[in-house]
Structure 1
Amino acid sequence: MAFGINRTELKEWKAAVARGEIAYLTHYWLDPRFPGIRTVTKVGCSDLEKLAAWCRGNGLNPAYIHKREQYPHFDLIGDKQADILRKEGLYRHIERFHMQ
């Protein structure tokens, strides 16, 4: 279940993904498979090669890309999520969703 974002933010992320940009969307998220995890950052890009290269450049396995027809994305969670958000200068995501 996703919450903590608004329709405009989702629309902007989808548009950036569709343009082939690397786009970040962080939101609150609860999934019983991941106890203790309360946020996820969806890193999307319609250019699968570009998204796979982004994964490899960040030490992530591109095999875990969700290859959705319109909005392919990689789900960042846990410590790696905050590390990459810092690396990308996306401090507003960290602050807004109270990440360490």
Structure 2
Amino acid sequence: MAFGIKKTELAQWKAKASEGEISFLTHFWYDSRFPEHKTVTKAACSDWDKLVAWGKQYGLKEAWIHNREDYPHFDLIGETEKSILELEGKNGKLNQLEKLTGSHFS
């Protein structure tokens, strides 16, 4: 279940992913399989080969891609999420969510 996504953020994520860019969408999230994690980042790209190559540089496997029609994506959680967002210079949203709750997410 997703929380804290603005319509404009979702539209921008979809537009960038559709244009073949690696696009990031970070939001609050709850999944009973991972109760210790409070956020997820979806790293999407409509260019499957580009997404696979991008993921490989971070040790992500092609089999982990969620094949969602126009928006195939990796779900990044925990330390993997934080590390990749920092390396990509995209950790602003994660930092914003941490400030809102006063918590550090892992």
Q: TM-score, normalised by structure 2?
A: 0.90
Q: Residue type of the partner of 1:44? A: A
SS in 2 for 1:97: helix
Cα distance, 1:93 vs. partner?
Answer: 2.0
Distance in 2 of aligned mates of 1:37 and 1:75: 12
1:30 maps to 30
Q: 1:34-85 CA distances to partner (integer Å, 9 max, x unpaired)?
A: 0111100000000000000011011111211011111111000010100011
2:49 maps to 49
1:72 maps to 72
Where do residues 71-90 of structure 1 align in structure 2 (5 Å cutoff)? Answer: 71-90=71-90
Contact 1:20 1:46 (8 Å CA) reproduced: yes
Moved over 4 A (4+): none
What fraction of aligned residue pairs are identical, expressed as a percent? Answer: 52
Provide structure 1 residue ranges, at least 5 long, that are not aligned to the other structure: none
Give the superposed CA RMSD. Answer: 1.0
SS in 2 for 1:63: helix
Cα distance, 1:91 vs. partner?
Answer: 2.9
Q: TM-score, normalised by structure 1?
A: 0.95
Cα distance, 1:5 vs. partner?
Answer: 1.4
Q: Residue type of the partner of 1:7? A: K
